[in-house]
A and B are shown apart, each in its own frame.
Chain A
Amino acid sequence: MVDRNYTGQAIGIFELDGFMACLVALDAAAKAADVKIQGVERNRLKAGACVKLRGDISSVRAAMDAALAAAAPYGKVTASTVISAPDAGTEHGIAATIGR
């Protein structure tokens, strides 16, 4: 989770209810398309984690599908979304919770 400059790139966020499922999905996403992982954060709710993908919109969409397909046997999807053109303010919101 090297901090690179992601401004303007599409965002793909998905949250699964298992950290192991997140690692499997993260790996599938990185192999499926040219996306960078901005952060992986545990949520305090149960044992899940949220993964943030960055890259151009077509890669993020392809990576998201691959990730959710790969994680299917290991955990349920809590939420997943793709933001194609994030606003400048969103960048801060996305980066604020990483590394807590």
Chain B
Amino acid sequence: MNKPEAYALVEVLGAAHAVLAVDQMLKCATLELSARETSCGGHVTLVLEGDISACQAAVDSVRENPPCPVLGACVISGPSDELFDVVTTIGEKMRKV
């Protein structure tokens, strides 16, 4: 799995809301869910990967008409190797569940 062109990151409150957000983002752009990190406090961080324009379109769609209260959304273009390692590690943990 090679390094993607960009990551789209979205943080929402609540696992159910995370499903809503992922569904909206995947429908509006060709992206892949690479990691989902849930922790105490109910915050769910979603990391999707794809090319820059797709990530930007997905983040914009979540920002303009959010399916749920979105705590933050941003795009990281040209991710570094370290970020790629971190996201793949989290992704592996997610897939095991």
A binding-site residues for B, Cβ under 8 Å: 1-2, 18-21, 23-24, 26-27, 29-31, 35-37, 40, 42, 44-47, 49, 74-75
Contact = CB atoms under 8 A, between A and B. Distances in A.
**Among A19, A30, A46: residue with most chain B CB under 10 A:** A19
A96 B97 CA distance: 23
B64 interface: no
22 contacts: A18-B72, A19-B37, A20-B45, A23-B7, A23-B47, A24-B74, A27-B76, A27-B79, A27-B80, A30-B80, A30-B81, A30-B82, A30-B83, A31-B80, A35-B82, A40-B86, A44-B39, A45-B40, A45-B41, A46-B40, A49-B39, A74-B72
Given A40-B86, A42-B40, A47-B40, A20 B74 contact: yes
B94 to A, nearest CB: 13
Per DSSP, chain A at the interface is mixed
Interface of B: 7, 9-11, 37, 39-43, 45, 47, 71-72, 74, 76, 79-83, 85-87, 89
A44 B86 CA distance: 19
Contact of B45 (A19, A37, A44, A46): A19
Contacts of B72: 18, 20-21, 74-75
Contact of A19 (B7, B11, B42): B11
A27 B83 contact: yes
A18 B9 CA distance: 12
